[in-house]
Amino acid sequence: MKTTRRGFVGSIALGTAASVLAGTSLLSQSARAQTRAHEKSDNYDDGIMQLNQNESARGPGPKTIQALHSHVNKRVGRGYAPDHVDELEEGIANYYNISRDYVLLATGSTPLLQGSVRAFCSADRKFVTPMPTYSTSLSTARQIGAGIEEQSLDSAMAINLDALAASARGAGLLYFCNPNNPTGTVHGPQAVERFVRRVMREAPDTVIHIDEAYINYTQPGKMETALPLAMEFENVFITRSFSKAHGLAGLRIGYALGQPQTLAKIRGAWGMGDVNMLGAIAALTALEDKEHIAWEAQENAEIRSMVIGAFHEMGFEVGDSNTNHIFVNIRRPAKEFRDACLEHKILVGRDFPPMEKTHCRISLGSREEMAIAVEVFRKVLA
């Protein structure tokens, strides 16, 4: 008998793990205790504090961990049937109240970014991107010899949507990361809608990719998903990832939402990989666990405020972050700062041209990690 989405999630034996997030408080003492225990036992990676990758410092929620444990013990040796990938695709569709053919699964967001550039760009159809932003799409455009146009950010380190829209004529694909990586800045729903409608009016053959990987970390009221625009316009699609707030970076699961003909072109241009059984189980459970995502967002917001406050005390400017990382004007080359931090066993972000001479991206770890890191930053920047 086919396992349904609700039947599958409901059948997981949660045991004591479910009680961790029970009640109305997202920051209950038991939830904090579970997080603290995990952090103390696994605070470092080979002795280096990893603040260079935008992953969740807390990992997946207890329900997701329990689901993984249950299926490792009972099902991992029988991975061919059922593989639960269909249930995940159905679960995502139901979550957004759309049809399954509007969902494209992939092994992380990377194949989706690579496939979209290959599908819509060429030497005659340029790729347009703000800079700095997430660079996988740009790297792919270079690999295939597509024309490339880069747009600078505005004075607030936000993506300049007017400049991006003005470059749409003759473009195969516009890339718009919202919130943006590395700056953390975000555009609200009215600005996004104006941008999309302008491009669709002035350059209807151009495809717009809106990357919403960090949407779960945005400050309240700052943004909404652009999914309604993707449902309205064939040439608009969005991507999401389970690698950030859901804490599943190591399992590599991402997805695109858009109209079937658009997703078919992306799928046909590049392999999406095969989501495995454990990844599907973890993603489906994490998707359903709204309480943990709310707790993760609040925990990240408190840590973010603490770290930004520390940099302000030191006299350094920080962008308006809506992500699980911050972009700091350290007034020196990022490499210099990075090398100095590494001497204290802390690894911060890579260079982000054209701002690598002044700014550095710092991912947010746990409370304990960031308390240590802030003291190192004070010494290094003194």
Report angle CA 163, 166, 169 to the nearest 5 degrees.
Answer: 140
Q: Quick one: tokens of 5?
A: 């989405």
Q: In terms of C-beta density within 10 A (0-12 exposed, 13-18 middle, 19 or more buried), how is residue 220 classed?
A: exposed
* 50 three-state secondary structure: strand
**CA neighbor of 357 nearest in space, from 338, 334, 377, 378:** 334
Q: What is the number of alpha carbons within 13 Å of residue 282 lying toward its C-beta?
A: 26
Cβ(207)–Cβ(127) below 8 Å = no
Quick one: CA dihedral 127, 131, 134, 139, positive or negative? positive
Buried-exposed string 56-67: b where 16+ CB fall within 10 A, e elsewhere: bbbbbbbbbbbb
Q: Report cis status (omega within 30 of 0) of the bond before 220.
A: no
Q: Same CATH topology for 85-288 and 294-381?
A: no
d(CA 301, CA 296): 9
From first to last of the 382 residues of the chain, give the pLDDT tens digit: 333 434 434 333 333 333 333 333 444 444 444 444 444 444 456 789 999 999 999 999 999 999 998 888 766 666 555 678 999 999 999 999 999 999 999 999 999 999 999 999 999 999 999 999 999 999 999 999 999 999 999 999 999 999 999 999 999 999 999 999 999 999 999 999 999 999 999 999 999 999 999 999 999 999 999 999 999 999 999 999 999 999 999 999 999 999 999 999 999 999 999 999 999 999 999 999 999 999 999 999 999 999 999 999 999 999 999 999 999 999 999 999 999 999 999 999 999 999 999 999 999 999 999 999 999 999 999 9
Beta bridge partners of 361: 327
d(CA 308, CA 290): 27
Quick one: CA dihedral 84, 88, 94, 95, positive or negative? positive
Q: Which CATH number fits domain 85-288: 3.90.1150.10, 3.40.640.10, 3.90.1150.150, 3.30.360.10?
A: 3.40.640.10
Domain ranges of the chain: 85-288, 294-381
Q: Which CATH number fits domain 294-381: 3.40.50.150, 3.30.70.20, 3.50.50.60, 3.90.1150.10?
A: 3.90.1150.10
Q: What is the largest CA-CA distance in the chain?
A: 65
